[in-house]
Amino acid sequence: DSPVGVLALQGDFREHADVLRTLGARVELVRRPEELARVSGLVIPGGESSVMDKLARMFDLFDPLQAAVRAGLPVYGTCAGLIMLADTVLDGIVGQKSIGGLDISVRRNAFGSQNASFETDLQVPELGFAPVHAVFIRAPVVETVGPNARPLATLSDGRCVAVEQGNLLGTSFHPEITGEYRFHEYFLRKVRATAFRH
């Protein structure tokens, strides 16, 4: 049984690893291409997308990550991880790239400085009736959702903050820090259903 990876270049990868282990998954922290090549799924954590992007390129992981996503590796990105998975990044730093895969545009730091961090309860019909308590930390918003992607949750003002597309899942917020396991369970179901081979 191959492990589930957590991209561990930067950000809150330990929290994701803890949730995945609690759910019974074997976890591989991914910092090198050899580690990526072992995993059957990958979580890209929250952190700072521009830094994660630079580190991924420095560690020769960017191209293997992109190839794996294109080949159908199940990937779940939270916050900075969602930015990494977006085809289009708005308000990125100069030269910032994303791995892409999700047919969306995301705007970084979309909630401005005053309101940069906040918490709210969201309905996520795909995960059942109980609301998701969502923590947003200098979070991005999904500004446009293309025809290949599907919104999973919106704020009360209608802005989209969770999406999926095939084996890719992304949230603007951080279930890994609130004891909310349903997104990781949902992701692990994709991992098991896919049994991805590199």
Q: Which residues are catalytic?
A: 79, 174, 176
Does residue 75 contact residue 4 with C-beta atoms inside 8 Å? no
Q: The dihedral of CA 63, 64, 65, 70: what is its sign?
A: positive
Name which of 74 and 170 has its Cβ closer to ligand GLN.
Answer: 170
Main-chain phi, psi angles of 61, to 5 degrees:
-105, -15
Q: Is 138 assigned a ligand-binding role in the annotation?
A: yes
**186 Cβ partners below 8 Å, 6+ apart?**
126, 127, 169
Main-chain phi, psi angles of 7, to 5 degrees:
-65, 120
Question: Looking up tokens 């903050």, which residue turns up?
Answer: 161
Residues within the interface to ligand GLN (CB under 6 A): 46-49, 79-80, 83, 108-109, 137-138
Name which of 89 and 149 has its Cβ closer to ligand GLN.
Answer: 89
Name which of 88 and 194 has its Cβ closer to ligand GLN.
Answer: 88
Least Å from the CB of residue 72 to ligand GLN = 25
Least Å from the CB of residue 86 to ligand GLN = 11
Q: Is 47 assigned a ligand-binding role in the annotation?
A: yes
- DSSP designation for 91: S
Interstrand relation of 4-7 and 150-154 (parallel, antiparallel or unpaired): unpaired
Question: Looking up tokens 């309860």, which residue turns up?
Answer: 121
- Burial profile 128-151: b = 16 or more Cβ within 10 angstroms, e = fewer: eeeebebbbbbbbbbbebeeebee
Q: Is 113 assigned a ligand-binding role in the annotation?
A: no
Q: Is 108 assigned a ligand-binding role in the annotation?
A: yes
Q: Is 197 assigned a ligand-binding role in the annotation?
A: no
Name which of 136 and 196 has its Cβ closer to ligand GLN.
Answer: 136
List, as residue ranges, the binding site. 47-49, 108, 137-138
List, as residue ranges, the binding site for L-glutamine. 47-49, 108, 137-138
